[in-house]
Structure 1
């Protein structure tokens, strides 16, 4: 199946989830991340700020701040690029491009400094392949974050046995869902 068609189907499936379902599953996902060794071993974490029915990992980012970790979130630089901006507090957030929350200004953290990246996606497969929104922001960014553990964040409902993969697609090393954290391979 073509990427565009699969992306459309998975986004439609995600959009059909109820607010209560998203909240319940997001809470379980956050618990699974916070109890994972990948979280406890990382001092510099790059997360995302959920929009729509994406798994909401705000609780992880807030706990990481409380734990004294350096927390970064994406800032859109152009139609193809993001950078990691340090998040000092959730009070620093404002509406950014596409209605996605972002930090207005702050320290840019180099991708090589990241130790854990929480990677969103429309869908994931057990081998770590990921289907994103289609702009390639994360594939370009993750190519520079060679020292980081990549943890894909999704719902079990959006897992597929396999996904179409391009040479530039960056796989994740682990996938976290509402039920567990699974190594890819």
Structure 2
């Protein structure tokens, strides 16, 4: 199955969850995350500001702040297809850009270098148990991960796990995938 069809199928499965059930399942995913050594040991966490039927990251961001962690969010450049991460401390530092994504405002935020991010939570639509993923189609994370040396993991519901995933030469797997049922070590 091609990437576009896989994306459509998994997004449809996610939409089928009634909101209270979706909320319960995503709370379990976050609970599982908070008990990993990767979370406990990370001083600086890179994460996307989730929307729609992604694992909600706002409570994750608040939890990180409560624990004294630094949170950084991606800022994408649609011309170069590159992204960087910027320190995020308050919602006033965000602006809504293309496709309704919330990103840090450059003039209000500090650039965080890749080597200073301990844990990068990589978004995706679907995953296989080897850590490969299909994202949202922009390729920003694939380019960023090419030089990233820190720890990577992805959050998802078990319905986002697929057996057959088309893998390309530039794809880089994450180290762990955390679902509501399990923590999968991929490497």
With structure 2 as the length reference, what TM-score do the two structures score? 0.91
The one of 119, 123, 127 aligned to 2:126: 123
Which 5+ residue runs of structure 1 have no aligned equivalent? none
Q: 1:14 to 1:46 in 2, by over 3 A?
A: same
Structure 1 vs Structure 2 CA RMSD = 1.5
- After superposition, the C-alpha distances for 1:102-148 in whole angstroms (9 at most, x for unaligned) are 222311111222110111100001111111111101111111211x1
Rounded Cα–Cα distance in structure 2 between residues aligned with 1:26 and 1:170: 25
SS of residue paired to 1:172: coil
Separation in 1, partners of 2:146, 2:27: 29
SS of the residue 1:25 aligns to? helix
Query: What secondary structure, in the 3-state scheme, does the structure 1 residue paired with 2:184 have?
Result: strand
Q: Is the 8 A contact 1:87 1:103 kept in 2?
A: yes
Per-residue deviation, residues 60-87 of structure 1 (Å, max 9, x unmatched): 2111112221111111222522210111
Among 126, 132, 136, the alignment partner of 1:133 is 136
In structure 1, how many angstroms separate the alpha carbons of the residues matched to 2:40 and 2:61? 13
Q: Offset at 1:91?
A: 4.4
| TM-score normalised by length of structure 1 | 0.92
- The match for 2:93 is 92
Correspondence 1:152 to 2:154: yes
Q: Secondary structure of the residue that 2:8 maps to in structure 1? A: helix
1:18-167 equivalences under 5 Å are: 18-79=18-79, 80-105=81-106, 106-146=109-149, 148-167=150-169
- Post-superposition CA distance 1:132-175 (Å, at most 9, x none): 111101111111211x1111111101101231100101101100
Q: How many residues align?
A: 184
| Whole-angstrom CA distance in 2 between matches of 1:28 and 1:144 | 31
Deviates more, 1:89-98 or 1:28-37: 89-98
2:2 is aligned to 2
Are the counterparts in 2 of residues 93 and 102 from structure 1 also a CA contact under 8 Å?
yes
Decide whether the 8 Å contact of 1:26 with 1:57 is kept in 2: no
